Amino acid sequence: MAAALGDRRIDAVRAIDLEALMRRAAAGARPRRNSRNGRHAGEHLIAAARAFYNRAIADGYLTAVDSPAHRVRKPRRLPNTRRALTADELSDINAAARSGGHDIVLDALLLRLHTETACRRGGALALRLIDLDTDHALIRLSEKGGTQRWQPITPMLASRLDDHARARGAVAPTDALLRYRNGQPASYRRYDLMWKRIGRQLPWVAAQGISTHWLRHTTLTWVERHFGYGVARAYAGHTDSRGPATTTYIKADLHAVATAWQPSAVSRTHWPR
């Protein structure tokens, strides 16, 4: 907006100007495995423009009816193409991750961690030594919106995470839990490389754009089917209050989440030797 409209007063920008920017953003969006022809880029531009004008309104530069951003319709969000993986698909992915690459230990830990906890990538990468409770088989996840929660894991995963971190140089309580072989903390790039490698071995993974977030769908779908919406919501770490009022009365606690995990079919993936 600053580059294209920086020479104008904010009250001189028209809705058609922002709509043109939206179309330009969609056309120039970087193609990715899960791209939707730039649709999300256009949506994000309008969201950013509305956030900008909301602040201008709050500071008294404009009134709400003067905002051009709020007169442009956001592109309708398309249905999510992600789904729960089948048991065979999950098994094939784990086998592919263990069959090559220069750090199959880290890759196996990542897949196992996300399958057990349904956590997001940011939550996994933010884990520190202090966030692992091996005595009670718990990890503390810090995720979207600054939320924190303790999530149950299997004792085996807790032990493997502890061994992995200490073998790769984690000493201080605030040291990262997931680490490369050189001792540096793992980054988002590890996920990209892992899924590209798996996609080369399993073409359907690349064709469908399967990513770590599909593991979240897989685990939460299983939990919801067997233990209900309330437990699945707690398992996911959702804290928003939107939805039916009934959700206020069906909150699940840590023990319910732990019970949901123990017999889970997705927990039966094998560890590499």
State in words which class domain 87-268 has: mainly alpha
Instruction: Give the tens place of pLDDT for each residue, 70-109.
Output: 999 887 776 667 788 999 999 999 999 998 888 999 999 9
Instruction: Give the tens place of pLDDT for each residue, 127-138.
Output: 999 999 999 999
Instruction: Give the tens place of pLDDT for each residue, 148-167.
Output: 889 999 999 999 999 999 99
- The whole-model pTM stands at 0.74
pLDDT over 70 percentage in the chain: 85
Question: How is residue 18 written in tokens?
Answer: 């922002």
Q: Domain-by-domain residue ranges, the chain?
A: 2-71, 87-268
